[in-house]
């Protein structure tokens, strides 16, 4: 009995040990799977279209504000730099934070929704043109009173087309914004240059006036000396002798006057 009891205990110990090893292996496997999932999510976020925050958060276009907050909390925990070993985890985490900020901002959200609605309208127009060529689809659409089109807009095909069309519209709008910003920068640069040239012109004018005012006394003194003594003879210059005239009030030479 004692031997049987010892054998039974040894088997139990081996079984427990085996179970512990399997548990450790399973935990390690889950950790590896979790790490792969984290890395994949980082790659997905960084490969998203940068102008569409709905894509970064992997949300449908009709998501509400609460959906945005919940999805951000979920994905941010998955790619948080403290938990994810991916070298670009910090970059992906920052992209998620920016996406949430844009979708929670009323102005930015309205802008995005307006582009999404424009994309839907363009696809609907294309759809109507297609139905004109397809009589069977057109008849079914009329019979279902719009249900057929509603189902189509929930289809994977339509959602993919919508996603691509939204990308196109956002890209076009961003390009227009950048062109406008470029023109504004050029105009600001031109105005700044004109302002600097005007300042330089007034600076030169003030300097000239100050210089002119600074030599005023010298000019006045020179004029007074000129009025007093006439033109001064420069050093080394020979002045011709003055010619006497009969009329001392005249500065030109008179011819001799015959007398008698």
- Kindly list the domain boundaries of the chain, sorted by start residue: 23-173
Q: For residue 241, name the pLDDT band (cuts at 50, 70, 90).
A: low
Residue 250 confidence class, pLDDT cut points 50, 70, 90 = low
The whole-angstrom separation of Cα 93 and Cα 89 is 6
pTM of the model: 0.59
Whether the pLDDT of residue 134 is over 90: the answer is no
Of the two residues 101 and 231, the one the predictor is more confident about is 101
pLDDT in tens, 54-65: 999 999 999 999
Choose which CATH entry (3.10.350.10, 1.10.287.110, 3.30.70.260, 1.10.240.10) describes domain 23-173. 1.10.287.110
**Reported confidence tier of residue 77, pLDDT bands at 50, 70, 90:** confident
| pLDDT at site 30 | 47
Q: 33: left (phi > 0), else alpha (psi -120 to 50), else beta?
A: alpha
How far apart CA 115 and CA 124 sit, in angstroms, is 14
pLDDT tens-digit series, residues 146-169:
667 788 888 899 999 999 999 999
């Amino acid at each position: 009995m004692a031997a049987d009891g010892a054998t039974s205990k040894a088997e139990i110990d081996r079984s427990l040990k085996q179970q512990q090893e399997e548990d450790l292996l399973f935990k390690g496997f889950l950790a590896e799977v979790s790490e792969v999932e984290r890395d994949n999510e980082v790659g997905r976020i960084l490969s998203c279209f940068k102008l569409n925050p709905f894509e970064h958060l992997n949300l449908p276009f009709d998501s509400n504000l609460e959906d945005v907050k919940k999805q951000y909390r979920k994905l941010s925990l998955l790619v948080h730099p403290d938990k994810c070993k991916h070298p670009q985890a910090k970059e992906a985490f920052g992209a998620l934070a920016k996406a949430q900020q844009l979708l929670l901002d009323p102005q930015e959200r309205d802008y995005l929704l307006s582009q999404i609605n424009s994309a839907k309208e363009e696809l609907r127009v294309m759809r109507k043109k297609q139905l004109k060529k397809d009589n069977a689809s057109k008849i079914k659409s009329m019979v279902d009173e719009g249900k057929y089109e509603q189902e189509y807009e929930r289809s994977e095909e339509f959602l993919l087309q919508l996603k691509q069309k939204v990308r196109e519209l956002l890209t076009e709008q961003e390009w227009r914004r950048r062109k406008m910003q470029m023109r504004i920068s050029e105009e600001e640069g031109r105005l700044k240059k004109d302002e600097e040239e005007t300042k330089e012109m007034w600076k030169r004018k003030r300097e000239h006036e100050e210089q002119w005012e600074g030599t005023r006394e010298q000019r006045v003194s020179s004029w007074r000396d000129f009025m007093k003594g006439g033109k001064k003879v420069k050093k080394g210059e020979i002045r011709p002798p003055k010619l006497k005239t009969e009329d001392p009030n005249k500065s030109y030479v008179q011819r001799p006057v015959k007398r008698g």
